Amino acid sequence: MTTSEVAFTEESLKTIVVEEFEISATQLTEDATLEELGLDSLGLLELLVAIEAQTHKEISSLDLPISPNTPYHEAARIVTRAVAEAPVVGSGDLVTG
């Protein structure tokens, strides 16, 4: 099974947020907004890049109705659904930093 075939879950997102942004898992409460977690607009783009790198799926930020004011639990639901519906891209198609 390849990385792109593994289901991307809210737990997968939590792992990325904790590791990439050095946010404690205990801060990821239902009421915490992305901004309160330290994710501004640029942080959201960095998060999408990290998700794309892990899943080999292309996710357009224009298709995601999330902003820094979005509660984490709502953003997690939106992002996991977007990843499930996103097309897989070839490894040469993704630009990684």
Residue 73 tokens, joined: 């639990």
Q: What CATH topology corresponds to 10-85? A: 1.10.1200
Residue 47 tokens, joined: 């998060």
8 A C-beta contact, residue 56 and residue 88: yes
Q: What is the pLDDT of residue 45?
A: 93
Q: What is the pLDDT of residue 4?
A: 46
User: Using CA atoms, how far apart are residues 49 and 59, in angstroms rounded to an integer?
Assistant: 9
Residue 80 tokens, joined: 């996991």
Q: What is the pLDDT of residue 88?
A: 86
pLDDT digits (tens), the chain, 97 positions: 444 457 899 999 999 999 999 999 999 998 999 999 999 999 999 999 999 999 999 998 887 899 999 999 999 999 999 999 998 886 555 555 5
